[in-house]
Structure 1
Amino acid sequence: MQTITLGAVDITRVVEWHAPVAPTSAVFPGATAEMWRANESWLAPDFWRPDTDDLVAVAQTWVLRSEGRTILVDTGIGNDKTLSDMPAWSGLRTDFLGRLEAVGVRPEDVDVVVNTHVHADHVGWNTRLRDGAWVPTFPNATYLIAKADYDYWHPSNTRPKVGSLGGVPLEGDRATMFRESVEPVHLAGQAVLWEGGHTIDGNLSLEPAPGHTPGSAVLRLASGSDRALFIGDLVHSPLQFVEPDCDTCLSEDQAAATRSRRRVLEWAADTRSLVFPAHLPGHGGAEVRRDGSRFAIERWAAFDRVA
Protein backbone atom coordinates (compact mmCIF):
# COMPACT_ATOMS: atom_id res chain seq x y z
CA MET A 1 0.00 0.00 0.00
CA GLN A 2 1.46 3.34 -1.10
CA THR A 3 -1.44 5.58 -0.05
CA ILE A 4 -3.56 5.84 3.07
CA THR A 5 -6.37 8.26 3.84
CA LEU A 6 -6.79 10.18 7.09
CA GLY A 7 -9.97 12.19 7.23
CA ALA A 8 -10.07 14.14 3.98
CA VAL A 9 -6.32 13.89 3.33
CA ASP A 10 -4.65 11.28 1.14
CA ILE A 11 -1.05 10.45 2.12
CA THR A 12 1.33 8.80 -0.33
CA ARG A 13 4.84 7.64 0.52
CA VAL A 14 7.61 8.08 -2.08
CA VAL A 15 11.02 6.64 -1.16
CA GLU A 16 14.10 8.16 -2.76
CA TRP A 17 16.92 6.22 -1.03
CA HIS A 18 17.19 3.28 1.40
CA ALA A 19 20.34 1.83 2.96
CA PRO A 20 22.36 1.39 6.15
CA VAL A 21 23.74 4.75 7.25
CA ALA A 22 26.29 4.39 10.06
CA PRO A 23 26.84 2.48 13.31
CA THR A 24 24.26 3.30 15.95
CA SER A 25 27.10 3.82 18.42
CA ALA A 26 28.16 6.81 16.32
CA VAL A 27 24.70 8.19 15.54
CA PHE A 28 23.29 7.77 19.08
CA PRO A 29 26.15 8.46 21.50
CA GLY A 30 23.76 8.40 24.48
CA ALA A 31 22.18 5.04 23.68
CA THR A 32 23.75 1.95 25.21
CA ALA A 33 24.28 -1.38 23.49
CA GLU A 34 21.85 -2.86 26.02
CA MET A 35 19.07 -0.55 24.77
CA TRP A 36 19.46 -1.84 21.24
CA ARG A 37 19.71 -5.48 22.29
CA ALA A 38 16.64 -5.20 24.54
CA ASN A 39 14.57 -4.10 21.53
CA GLU A 40 16.24 -6.22 18.86
CA SER A 41 13.14 -8.38 18.28
CA TRP A 42 11.29 -5.50 16.62
CA LEU A 43 14.08 -3.12 15.57
CA ALA A 44 15.82 -5.72 13.38
CA PRO A 45 16.07 -5.92 10.47
CA ASP A 46 13.97 -2.95 9.31
CA PHE A 47 15.62 -0.29 11.47
CA TRP A 48 18.83 -1.86 12.79
CA ARG A 49 21.33 -4.46 11.58
CA PRO A 50 22.69 -6.17 14.72
CA ASP A 51 25.53 -7.90 12.85
CA THR A 52 27.05 -4.56 11.78
CA ASP A 53 25.36 -2.26 14.35
CA ASP A 54 24.19 -0.11 11.42
CA LEU A 55 21.19 2.19 11.57
CA VAL A 56 18.98 1.64 8.52
CA ALA A 57 17.25 4.70 7.07
CA VAL A 58 15.37 6.05 4.10
CA ALA A 59 15.11 9.43 2.46
CA GLN A 60 11.48 9.86 1.55
CA THR A 61 8.83 12.40 0.69
CA TRP A 62 5.27 12.41 1.96
CA VAL A 63 2.77 13.51 -0.69
CA LEU A 64 -0.39 14.97 0.84
CA ARG A 65 -3.51 15.75 -1.15
CA SER A 66 -5.65 18.16 0.87
CA GLU A 67 -8.40 20.59 -0.12
CA GLY A 68 -7.62 20.17 -3.82
CA ARG A 69 -3.90 20.87 -3.49
CA THR A 70 -0.78 18.70 -3.66
CA ILE A 71 1.70 19.19 -0.80
CA LEU A 72 5.14 17.62 -0.48
CA VAL A 73 6.65 17.14 2.98
CA ASP A 74 10.46 17.22 2.60
CA THR A 75 12.23 16.75 -0.70
CA GLY A 76 15.02 14.34 0.12
CA ILE A 77 18.61 14.34 -1.09
CA GLY A 78 18.29 15.39 -4.71
CA ASN A 79 20.39 14.67 -7.76
CA ASP A 80 23.85 16.09 -8.48
CA LYS A 81 24.21 17.73 -5.06
CA THR A 82 27.56 18.54 -3.42
CA LEU A 83 27.54 16.78 -0.03
CA SER A 84 31.11 16.38 1.08
CA ASP A 85 30.18 15.14 4.56
CA MET A 86 28.02 12.32 3.13
CA PRO A 87 29.89 10.81 0.16
CA ALA A 88 27.11 8.26 -0.47
CA TRP A 89 24.75 11.13 -1.25
CA SER A 90 27.12 13.47 -3.08
CA GLY A 91 26.40 13.39 -6.78
CA LEU A 92 23.53 10.94 -6.19
CA ARG A 93 21.27 10.21 -9.15
CA THR A 94 17.88 8.57 -8.65
CA ASP A 95 14.60 8.45 -10.55
CA PHE A 96 12.80 10.33 -7.80
CA LEU A 97 10.79 12.49 -10.19
CA GLY A 98 9.75 9.34 -12.04
CA ARG A 99 8.58 7.85 -8.76
CA LEU A 100 6.54 10.97 -8.08
CA GLU A 101 5.03 10.77 -11.55
CA ALA A 102 4.18 7.10 -10.94
CA VAL A 103 1.87 8.22 -8.12
CA GLY A 104 0.33 10.94 -10.26
CA VAL A 105 2.48 13.94 -9.37
CA ARG A 106 4.36 15.94 -12.00
CA PRO A 107 6.61 18.81 -10.88
CA GLU A 108 4.14 21.40 -12.16
CA ASP A 109 1.33 19.77 -10.13
CA VAL A 110 2.89 20.56 -6.75
CA ASP A 111 1.27 23.48 -4.93
CA VAL A 112 3.19 23.53 -1.62
CA VAL A 113 6.57 22.19 -0.48
CA VAL A 114 7.18 21.88 3.25
CA ASN A 115 10.78 21.65 4.44
CA THR A 116 10.52 20.39 8.03
CA HIS A 117 14.03 21.77 8.46
CA VAL A 118 17.03 22.84 6.45
CA HIS A 119 19.39 19.89 6.29
CA ALA A 120 20.75 18.66 2.97
CA ASP A 121 18.67 15.46 2.96
CA HIS A 122 15.40 17.38 3.40
CA VAL A 123 15.81 20.13 0.82
CA GLY A 124 17.62 18.36 -2.03
CA TRP A 125 14.80 18.16 -4.56
CA ASN A 126 13.82 21.76 -3.86
CA THR A 127 15.94 22.38 -6.95
CA ARG A 128 17.41 20.63 -9.97
CA LEU A 129 20.09 21.46 -12.51
CA ARG A 130 18.97 23.07 -15.75
CA ASP A 131 21.66 24.23 -18.20
CA GLY A 132 24.19 24.42 -15.37
CA ALA A 133 21.96 26.46 -13.05
CA TRP A 134 19.95 25.41 -10.00
CA VAL A 135 16.27 26.14 -10.53
CA PRO A 136 13.15 25.28 -8.49
CA THR A 137 12.05 21.73 -9.27
CA PHE A 138 8.41 22.59 -8.64
CA PRO A 139 7.74 25.73 -10.65
CA ASN A 140 4.25 26.46 -9.32
CA ALA A 141 4.88 25.65 -5.66
CA THR A 142 5.18 27.79 -2.58
CA TYR A 143 8.11 26.55 -0.49
CA LEU A 144 7.55 26.83 3.28
CA ILE A 145 10.86 27.27 5.13
CA ALA A 146 11.23 28.31 8.76
CA LYS A 147 12.91 31.70 8.91
CA ALA A 148 15.00 30.51 11.87
CA ASP A 149 16.61 27.83 9.67
CA TYR A 150 16.97 30.11 6.66
CA ASP A 151 18.85 32.62 8.79
CA TYR A 152 20.91 29.99 10.61
CA TRP A 153 22.20 28.29 7.47
CA HIS A 154 22.60 31.47 5.44
CA PRO A 155 26.30 31.87 4.54
CA SER A 156 26.34 35.29 6.20
CA ASN A 157 25.85 33.57 9.58
CA THR A 158 29.35 32.77 10.79
CA ARG A 159 28.35 31.15 14.09
CA PRO A 160 29.91 27.69 14.43
CA LYS A 161 27.64 24.76 13.67
CA VAL A 162 27.78 21.67 15.89
CA GLY A 163 27.15 18.06 15.02
CA SER A 164 29.52 15.17 14.44
CA LEU A 165 29.37 11.54 13.45
CA GLY A 166 31.69 9.31 15.44
CA GLY A 167 33.63 12.37 16.54
CA VAL A 168 34.06 13.67 12.98
CA PRO A 169 32.53 17.15 12.58
CA LEU A 170 29.68 17.28 10.10
CA GLU A 171 30.39 20.77 8.85
CA GLY A 172 30.48 19.91 5.15
CA ASP A 173 29.99 22.77 2.76
CA ARG A 174 26.89 24.35 4.24
CA ALA A 175 27.22 27.40 2.00
CA THR A 176 27.08 25.10 -1.03
CA MET A 177 23.99 23.31 0.33
CA PHE A 178 22.31 26.68 0.80
CA ARG A 179 23.35 27.90 -2.63
CA GLU A 180 22.20 24.72 -4.39
CA SER A 181 18.96 23.88 -2.60
CA VAL A 182 17.60 26.88 -0.69
CA GLU A 183 18.68 30.18 -2.20
CA PRO A 184 17.32 29.47 -5.71
CA VAL A 185 13.72 29.09 -4.50
CA HIS A 186 14.03 32.28 -2.48
CA LEU A 187 15.47 34.22 -5.43
CA ALA A 188 12.63 32.87 -7.60
CA GLY A 189 10.12 34.44 -5.21
CA GLN A 190 8.65 31.05 -4.28
CA ALA A 191 9.79 30.84 -0.63
CA VAL A 192 7.68 31.82 2.37
CA LEU A 193 9.85 32.25 5.48
CA TRP A 194 7.43 31.61 8.31
CA GLU A 195 7.78 32.31 12.04
CA GLY A 196 5.83 31.16 15.07
CA GLY A 197 3.50 28.86 13.14
CA HIS A 198 1.86 28.63 9.75
CA THR A 199 -1.57 27.42 8.60
CA ILE A 200 -1.56 25.64 5.25
CA ASP A 201 -5.26 24.83 5.06
CA GLY A 202 -8.12 23.57 7.20
CA ASN A 203 -6.38 20.21 7.70
CA LEU A 204 -2.69 21.09 7.93
CA SER A 205 -0.57 23.45 10.00
CA LEU A 206 3.08 23.94 10.95
CA GLU A 207 4.46 24.56 14.42
CA PRO A 208 8.03 25.03 15.68
CA ALA A 209 9.87 22.10 17.27
CA PRO A 210 13.41 23.48 17.63
CA GLY A 211 16.52 21.60 18.62
CA HIS A 212 17.59 19.38 15.77
CA THR A 213 17.93 22.69 13.96
CA PRO A 214 16.76 26.09 15.21
CA GLY A 215 13.86 26.06 12.75
CA SER A 216 12.84 22.40 12.94
CA ALA A 217 9.08 22.06 12.59
CA VAL A 218 6.25 19.57 12.88
CA LEU A 219 3.40 19.39 10.39
CA ARG A 220 0.10 18.63 12.13
CA LEU A 221 -2.73 16.91 10.28
CA ALA A 222 -6.18 17.14 11.85
CA SER A 223 -9.06 16.05 9.64
CA GLY A 224 -12.31 14.68 10.98
CA SER A 225 -11.38 12.36 13.84
CA ASP A 226 -7.97 11.50 12.37
CA ARG A 227 -4.67 12.95 13.52
CA ALA A 228 -1.07 12.67 12.29
CA LEU A 229 2.25 14.39 12.85
CA PHE A 230 5.06 14.64 10.32
CA ILE A 231 7.97 15.23 12.64
CA GLY A 232 11.05 15.48 10.43
CA ASP A 233 14.16 14.48 12.37
CA LEU A 234 12.77 14.58 15.91
CA VAL A 235 13.05 10.78 15.63
CA HIS A 236 15.68 8.95 13.56
CA SER A 237 14.95 5.47 14.93
CA PRO A 238 11.87 4.02 16.64
CA LEU A 239 14.21 3.24 19.55
CA GLN A 240 13.55 6.89 20.44
CA PHE A 241 9.90 6.08 21.07
CA VAL A 242 10.90 3.81 23.93
CA GLU A 243 14.03 5.81 24.86
CA PRO A 244 12.89 9.39 24.15
CA ASP A 245 15.82 11.02 25.93
CA CYS A 246 18.31 9.56 23.42
CA ASP A 247 19.16 12.15 20.81
CA THR A 248 21.49 11.86 17.84
CA CYS A 249 24.85 13.45 17.24
CA LEU A 250 23.22 15.31 14.36
CA SER A 251 21.26 17.88 16.37
CA GLU A 252 22.39 21.45 16.73
CA ASP A 253 20.98 21.53 20.28
CA GLN A 254 20.47 18.05 21.74
CA ALA A 255 18.74 19.22 24.92
CA ALA A 256 16.23 21.31 22.99
CA ALA A 257 15.66 18.47 20.51
CA THR A 258 14.88 16.12 23.39
CA ARG A 259 12.40 18.58 24.89
CA SER A 260 10.68 18.99 21.53
CA ARG A 261 10.57 15.22 20.99
CA ARG A 262 8.97 14.56 24.39
CA ARG A 263 6.42 17.33 23.92
CA VAL A 264 5.42 16.09 20.47
CA LEU A 265 5.26 12.43 21.47
CA GLU A 266 3.16 13.28 24.53
CA TRP A 267 0.67 15.11 22.32
CA ALA A 268 0.70 12.23 19.82
CA ALA A 269 -0.01 9.67 22.54
CA ASP A 270 -2.80 11.75 24.07
CA THR A 271 -4.51 12.33 20.72
CA ARG A 272 -3.83 8.90 19.16
CA SER A 273 -1.96 10.57 16.32
CA LEU A 274 0.08 8.64 13.80
CA VAL A 275 3.70 9.78 13.93
CA PHE A 276 5.70 9.95 10.69
CA PRO A 277 9.43 10.62 11.12
CA ALA A 278 11.35 11.51 7.98
CA HIS A 279 13.76 8.59 7.84
CA LEU A 280 11.95 5.48 9.08
CA PRO A 281 11.89 2.46 6.78
CA GLY A 282 9.54 -0.39 7.69
CA HIS A 283 5.97 0.90 7.78
CA GLY A 284 7.17 4.50 7.97
CA GLY A 285 5.32 5.57 11.08
CA ALA A 286 3.39 4.46 14.14
CA GLU A 287 0.80 5.33 16.74
CA VAL A 288 2.36 5.54 20.20
CA ARG A 289 0.95 5.32 23.70
CA ARG A 290 2.36 6.44 27.03
CA ASP A 291 4.37 3.84 28.93
CA GLY A 292 5.34 5.49 32.21
CA SER A 293 7.86 8.19 31.32
CA ARG A 294 8.41 6.58 27.94
CA PHE A 295 6.29 5.53 25.00
CA ALA A 296 5.37 2.26 23.34
CA ILE A 297 4.20 1.42 19.85
CA GLU A 298 0.46 0.81 19.71
CA ARG A 299 0.37 0.02 16.00
CA TRP A 300 2.36 0.61 12.86
CA ALA A 301 1.05 2.75 10.00
CA ALA A 302 -0.75 0.90 7.22
CA PHE A 303 1.90 1.48 4.55
CA ASP A 304 3.67 -1.55 3.07
CA ARG A 305 7.04 -2.26 4.67
CA VAL A 306 10.19 -0.84 3.17
CA ALA A 307 12.77 -3.45 4.16
Structure 2
Amino acid sequence: MHTVALAVTDGILHFELSLACEVFGPAPASVNGPWYDLAVCGQGAVRAGRFQLEPDHGLDRLPHAETVIVPGWADTDQDPPGDLVNAVRAAHEAGARVVSLCTGAFVLAAAGLLDGKRATTHWAHTRALADRYPRVTVDPDVLYVDNGSVLTSAGKAAAMDLCLHLIRLDHGSAIANTLARRLVVPPHRDGGQAQYVTTPVPPPGNHPLADLLPWAITQLDQPLTVDDLARQARMSSRNLSRHFRTVTGTTPLQWLLTQRIRHAQELLETTDNSIDTIAKTTGMGTATTLRRHFNRTIGVPPDTYRRTFQTHPPTPQPRNTT
Protein backbone atom coordinates (compact mmCIF):
# COMPACT_ATOMS: atom_id res chain seq x y z
CA MET A 1 0.00 0.00 0.00
CA HIS A 2 1.02 3.62 -0.58
CA THR A 3 2.11 5.02 2.78
CA VAL A 4 1.11 8.60 3.54
CA ALA A 5 3.02 9.92 6.56
CA LEU A 6 1.83 13.04 8.37
CA ALA A 7 4.83 14.84 9.87
CA VAL A 8 3.69 16.50 13.10
CA THR A 9 5.27 18.57 15.84
CA ASP A 10 4.12 20.88 18.64
CA GLY A 11 2.09 23.75 17.21
CA ILE A 12 0.80 21.87 14.18
CA LEU A 13 -2.58 23.19 13.02
CA HIS A 14 -5.34 20.69 13.71
CA PHE A 15 -7.57 21.81 10.81
CA GLU A 16 -5.08 20.78 8.12
CA LEU A 17 -4.12 17.69 10.11
CA SER A 18 -7.75 16.57 10.39
CA LEU A 19 -8.38 17.32 6.73
CA ALA A 20 -5.47 15.13 5.62
CA CYS A 21 -6.62 12.32 7.93
CA GLU A 22 -10.11 12.50 6.41
CA VAL A 23 -8.87 12.42 2.80
CA PHE A 24 -6.20 9.75 3.16
CA GLY A 25 -7.93 7.71 5.88
CA PRO A 26 -10.85 5.39 5.03
CA ALA A 27 -11.16 4.60 1.33
CA PRO A 28 -14.31 5.60 -0.58
CA ALA A 29 -16.68 2.67 -1.16
CA SER A 30 -16.00 2.84 -4.91
CA VAL A 31 -12.30 1.98 -4.46
CA ASN A 32 -11.75 -1.72 -5.08
CA GLY A 33 -7.95 -1.76 -5.06
CA PRO A 34 -5.30 -0.56 -2.62
CA TRP A 35 -5.79 2.80 -0.91
CA TYR A 36 -3.40 4.46 1.55
CA ASP A 37 -1.69 3.36 4.73
CA LEU A 38 -1.92 6.51 6.86
CA ALA A 39 0.75 7.04 9.52
CA VAL A 40 1.02 9.97 11.94
CA CYS A 41 4.70 10.56 12.73
CA GLY A 42 6.21 12.76 15.44
CA GLN A 43 8.57 12.81 18.40
CA GLY A 44 6.31 11.97 21.36
CA ALA A 45 3.00 13.62 22.19
CA VAL A 46 2.39 16.89 20.32
CA ARG A 47 -0.06 19.78 20.63
CA ALA A 48 -2.36 20.41 17.68
CA GLY A 49 -4.31 23.54 18.51
CA ARG A 50 -6.28 22.71 21.66
CA PHE A 51 -5.78 18.99 21.22
CA GLN A 52 -3.09 16.56 22.37
CA LEU A 53 -1.99 13.97 19.81
CA GLU A 54 -0.03 10.77 20.28
CA PRO A 55 1.72 9.88 16.98
CA ASP A 56 1.76 6.31 15.69
CA HIS A 57 5.45 6.45 14.78
CA GLY A 58 8.56 8.55 15.21
CA LEU A 59 9.88 10.94 12.59
CA ASP A 60 12.37 8.24 11.52
CA ARG A 61 9.45 6.61 9.69
CA LEU A 62 9.23 9.48 7.16
CA PRO A 63 11.97 8.21 4.76
CA HIS A 64 10.03 4.95 4.41
CA ALA A 65 6.84 6.67 3.17
CA GLU A 66 5.85 7.28 -0.44
CA THR A 67 4.18 10.60 0.45
CA VAL A 68 5.03 12.89 3.37
CA ILE A 69 2.56 15.63 4.30
CA VAL A 70 3.48 18.55 6.57
CA PRO A 71 0.27 20.19 7.86
CA GLY A 72 0.06 23.88 8.68
CA TRP A 73 2.44 25.08 11.38
CA ALA A 74 1.35 27.80 13.79
CA ASP A 75 4.57 29.46 14.96
CA THR A 76 5.83 30.84 11.65
CA ASP A 77 7.78 33.60 13.43
CA GLN A 78 10.22 30.95 14.66
CA ASP A 79 12.43 28.53 12.75
CA PRO A 80 10.78 25.10 12.43
CA PRO A 81 12.13 22.39 14.78
CA GLY A 82 15.39 20.97 13.49
CA ASP A 83 14.38 17.32 13.92
CA LEU A 84 11.27 17.88 11.78
CA VAL A 85 13.20 19.75 9.09
CA ASN A 86 15.89 17.05 8.94
CA ALA A 87 13.34 14.24 8.78
CA VAL A 88 11.42 15.90 5.95
CA ARG A 89 14.65 16.50 4.03
CA ALA A 90 15.70 12.88 4.53
CA ALA A 91 12.32 11.67 3.27
CA HIS A 92 12.68 13.71 0.09
CA GLU A 93 16.21 12.44 -0.45
CA ALA A 94 14.86 8.90 -0.07
CA GLY A 95 12.42 9.54 -2.92
CA ALA A 96 9.24 10.54 -1.07
CA ARG A 97 6.74 12.98 -2.54
CA VAL A 98 6.71 15.84 -0.02
CA VAL A 99 3.61 17.99 0.43
CA SER A 100 2.95 21.04 2.61
CA LEU A 101 -0.48 22.29 3.60
CA CYS A 102 -0.88 26.00 4.38
CA THR A 103 2.07 27.24 6.47
CA GLY A 104 3.73 23.83 6.36
CA ALA A 105 5.59 25.44 3.45
CA PHE A 106 7.91 27.07 6.01
CA VAL A 107 9.14 23.59 6.99
CA LEU A 108 9.78 22.63 3.36
CA ALA A 109 11.57 25.92 2.76
CA ALA A 110 13.76 25.43 5.84
CA ALA A 111 14.67 21.98 4.50
CA GLY A 112 15.80 23.57 1.22
CA LEU A 113 13.17 21.68 -0.79
CA LEU A 114 11.69 24.86 -2.27
CA ASP A 115 14.96 26.49 -3.38
CA GLY A 116 14.65 27.54 -7.01
CA LYS A 117 11.03 26.40 -7.09
CA ARG A 118 7.64 28.08 -7.24
CA ALA A 119 5.60 27.63 -4.06
CA THR A 120 2.68 29.05 -2.14
CA THR A 121 1.26 29.26 1.37
CA HIS A 122 -1.56 31.09 3.14
CA TRP A 123 -1.89 34.56 1.59
CA ALA A 124 -1.32 36.23 4.98
CA HIS A 125 2.14 34.60 5.18
CA THR A 126 3.39 34.79 1.58
CA ARG A 127 5.42 37.95 2.19
CA ALA A 128 7.09 36.42 5.27
CA LEU A 129 7.92 33.23 3.36
CA ALA A 130 9.42 35.22 0.48
CA ASP A 131 11.43 37.47 2.80
CA ARG A 132 12.83 34.65 4.90
CA TYR A 133 13.60 32.31 2.01
CA PRO A 134 14.59 34.49 -0.98
CA ARG A 135 15.52 31.45 -3.10
CA VAL A 136 11.85 30.46 -3.18
CA THR A 137 9.57 31.97 -5.84
CA VAL A 138 6.43 32.58 -3.79
CA ASP A 139 3.16 32.78 -5.73
CA PRO A 140 0.52 34.43 -3.52
CA ASP A 141 -2.38 33.94 -5.94
CA VAL A 142 -2.73 30.19 -6.54
CA LEU A 143 -4.49 27.49 -4.53
CA TYR A 144 -1.61 25.05 -4.85
CA VAL A 145 1.64 24.45 -6.74
CA ASP A 146 2.70 21.05 -8.10
CA ASN A 147 6.45 20.70 -8.70
CA GLY A 148 6.26 16.95 -9.12
CA SER A 149 8.01 15.61 -6.04
CA VAL A 150 7.34 18.77 -3.99
CA LEU A 151 3.88 20.32 -3.69
CA THR A 152 2.58 23.25 -1.63
CA SER A 153 -0.93 24.52 -0.92
CA ALA A 154 -2.34 27.90 0.01
CA GLY A 155 -4.15 28.47 3.28
CA LYS A 156 -6.78 26.46 5.11
CA ALA A 157 -9.42 25.10 2.69
CA ALA A 158 -6.90 25.19 -0.17
CA ALA A 159 -5.32 22.19 1.56
CA MET A 160 -8.40 20.24 0.44
CA ASP A 161 -7.81 21.34 -3.16
CA LEU A 162 -4.26 19.97 -3.05
CA CYS A 163 -5.27 16.73 -1.31
CA LEU A 164 -7.93 16.08 -3.96
CA HIS A 165 -5.31 16.85 -6.62
CA LEU A 166 -3.14 14.10 -5.11
CA ILE A 167 -6.08 11.69 -5.22
CA ARG A 168 -6.58 12.56 -8.91
CA LEU A 169 -2.92 11.87 -9.61
CA ASP A 170 -2.93 8.54 -7.76
CA HIS A 171 -6.41 7.19 -8.50
CA GLY A 172 -7.92 9.25 -11.32
CA SER A 173 -10.64 11.89 -11.58
CA ALA A 174 -13.56 9.53 -10.97
CA ILE A 175 -12.31 8.53 -7.51
CA ALA A 176 -11.39 12.13 -6.66
CA ASN A 177 -14.89 13.25 -7.65
CA THR A 178 -16.46 10.50 -5.55
CA LEU A 179 -14.41 11.52 -2.53
CA ALA A 180 -15.26 15.20 -3.09
CA ARG A 181 -18.97 14.34 -3.09
CA ARG A 182 -18.56 12.40 0.16
CA LEU A 183 -16.83 15.39 1.73
CA VAL A 184 -19.40 17.79 0.21
CA VAL A 185 -16.76 19.95 -1.47
CA PRO A 186 -16.17 20.85 -5.13
CA PRO A 187 -13.72 18.46 -6.82
CA HIS A 188 -12.02 21.47 -8.40
CA ARG A 189 -12.26 25.20 -7.67
CA ASP A 190 -11.74 27.90 -10.25
CA GLY A 191 -9.25 30.70 -9.67
CA GLY A 192 -6.71 31.15 -6.91
CA GLN A 193 -6.50 32.47 -3.38
CA ALA A 194 -6.31 36.07 -4.64
CA GLN A 195 -10.11 36.10 -4.59
CA TYR A 196 -10.04 35.44 -0.82
CA VAL A 197 -7.51 38.11 0.15
CA THR A 198 -8.95 40.91 2.27
CA THR A 199 -8.99 44.39 0.75
CA PRO A 200 -5.71 46.17 1.55
CA VAL A 201 -5.77 49.60 3.12
CA PRO A 202 -3.18 52.33 2.60
CA PRO A 203 -0.24 51.75 4.92
CA PRO A 204 -0.50 54.07 7.92
CA GLY A 205 2.33 56.13 9.26
CA ASN A 206 4.32 59.26 8.70
CA HIS A 207 5.58 58.73 5.15
CA PRO A 208 5.53 60.89 1.99
CA LEU A 209 2.41 59.15 0.60
CA ALA A 210 0.32 59.30 3.78
CA ASP A 211 -2.03 61.95 2.33
CA LEU A 212 -1.86 60.87 -1.31
CA LEU A 213 -3.01 57.24 -0.96
CA PRO A 214 -6.35 57.95 0.78
CA TRP A 215 -7.01 60.74 -1.73
CA ALA A 216 -6.32 58.46 -4.70
CA ILE A 217 -8.78 55.86 -3.38
CA THR A 218 -11.55 58.49 -3.48
CA GLN A 219 -10.68 59.25 -7.12
CA LEU A 220 -10.73 55.74 -8.57
CA ASP A 221 -13.51 56.63 -11.02
CA GLN A 222 -11.16 59.16 -12.63
CA PRO A 223 -8.51 58.31 -15.28
CA LEU A 224 -5.58 59.02 -12.95
CA THR A 225 -2.05 59.08 -14.34
CA VAL A 226 1.35 59.10 -12.66
CA ASP A 227 1.57 62.82 -13.44
CA ASP A 228 -1.80 63.39 -11.69
CA LEU A 229 -0.55 61.58 -8.60
CA ALA A 230 2.77 63.43 -8.65
CA ARG A 231 1.00 66.78 -8.98
CA GLN A 232 -1.27 65.96 -6.02
CA ALA A 233 1.73 64.87 -3.95
CA ARG A 234 3.72 67.91 -5.04
CA MET A 235 6.73 65.93 -6.17
CA SER A 236 8.32 64.80 -9.41
CA SER A 237 7.14 61.62 -11.12
CA ARG A 238 10.54 60.07 -10.48
CA ASN A 239 10.39 60.80 -6.74
CA LEU A 240 6.80 59.56 -6.64
CA SER A 241 7.76 56.22 -8.18
CA ARG A 242 10.64 55.85 -5.72
CA HIS A 243 8.39 56.53 -2.71
CA PHE A 244 5.70 54.16 -4.05
CA ARG A 245 8.25 51.37 -4.31
CA THR A 246 9.42 52.03 -0.75
CA VAL A 247 5.97 52.38 0.86
CA THR A 248 3.81 49.94 -1.15
CA GLY A 249 6.37 47.65 -2.78
CA THR A 250 5.02 48.35 -6.28
CA THR A 251 4.64 51.05 -8.94
CA PRO A 252 2.00 53.82 -8.87
CA LEU A 253 0.03 52.37 -11.81
CA GLN A 254 0.13 48.83 -10.44
CA TRP A 255 -1.03 50.11 -7.06
CA LEU A 256 -3.90 51.97 -8.75
CA LEU A 257 -4.91 48.84 -10.67
CA THR A 258 -4.92 46.83 -7.44
CA GLN A 259 -7.18 49.40 -5.76
CA ARG A 260 -9.55 49.37 -8.74
CA ILE A 261 -9.76 45.58 -8.65
CA ARG A 262 -10.41 45.58 -4.88
CA HIS A 263 -13.12 48.20 -5.26
CA ALA A 264 -14.69 46.11 -8.02
CA GLN A 265 -14.67 43.11 -5.67
CA GLU A 266 -16.47 45.15 -3.02
CA LEU A 267 -19.12 46.31 -5.49
CA LEU A 268 -19.62 42.78 -6.83
CA GLU A 269 -20.13 41.53 -3.28
CA THR A 270 -22.46 44.24 -2.04
CA THR A 271 -24.43 45.61 -5.02
CA ASP A 272 -26.42 44.44 -8.03
CA ASN A 273 -24.73 47.01 -10.29
CA SER A 274 -24.04 45.82 -13.81
CA ILE A 275 -20.49 45.00 -14.88
CA ASP A 276 -20.57 48.08 -17.14
CA THR A 277 -21.51 50.32 -14.21
CA ILE A 278 -18.84 48.80 -11.97
CA ALA A 279 -16.26 49.28 -14.74
CA LYS A 280 -17.06 53.00 -14.91
CA THR A 281 -17.19 53.40 -11.11
CA THR A 282 -13.77 51.80 -10.67
CA GLY A 283 -12.14 53.72 -13.52
CA MET A 284 -11.80 50.65 -15.77
CA GLY A 285 -13.85 52.31 -18.49
CA THR A 286 -15.48 49.31 -20.14
CA ALA A 287 -16.75 45.90 -19.04
CA THR A 288 -14.25 44.27 -21.40
CA THR A 289 -11.32 46.01 -19.69
CA LEU A 290 -12.64 45.13 -16.23
CA ARG A 291 -13.14 41.48 -17.15
CA ARG A 292 -9.64 41.22 -18.61
CA HIS A 293 -7.86 42.72 -15.59
CA PHE A 294 -10.15 41.05 -13.04
CA ASN A 295 -9.72 37.58 -14.52
CA ARG A 296 -5.95 38.00 -14.78
CA THR A 297 -5.60 39.31 -11.21
CA ILE A 298 -8.24 37.32 -9.29
CA GLY A 299 -8.29 34.20 -11.42
CA VAL A 300 -12.04 34.13 -12.11
CA PRO A 301 -14.39 36.36 -14.14
CA PRO A 302 -16.38 39.06 -12.29
CA ASP A 303 -19.67 37.18 -12.73
CA THR A 304 -18.21 34.03 -11.15
CA TYR A 305 -16.77 36.06 -8.28
CA ARG A 306 -20.18 37.68 -7.67
CA ARG A 307 -21.96 34.31 -7.52
CA THR A 308 -19.43 33.09 -4.95
CA PHE A 309 -19.20 36.12 -2.68
CA GLN A 310 -22.30 38.27 -3.05
CA THR A 311 -23.60 38.96 0.45
CA HIS A 312 -27.26 39.39 -0.49
CA PRO A 313 -29.52 37.77 -3.07
CA PRO A 314 -29.91 39.65 -6.35
CA THR A 315 -32.89 41.98 -6.60
CA PRO A 316 -35.73 40.18 -8.45
CA GLN A 317 -36.31 41.64 -11.90
CA PRO A 318 -39.90 42.57 -12.88
CA ARG A 319 -41.56 39.95 -15.00
CA ASN A 320 -42.57 40.86 -18.53
CA THR A 321 -46.32 40.28 -18.76
CA THR A 322 -46.75 41.55 -22.31
- Same-fold call, TM cutoff 0.5: no
**Rg larger in structure:** 2
Structure with greater proportional helix content: 2
TM-score using structure 2 length: 0.28
TM-score using structure 1 length: 0.29
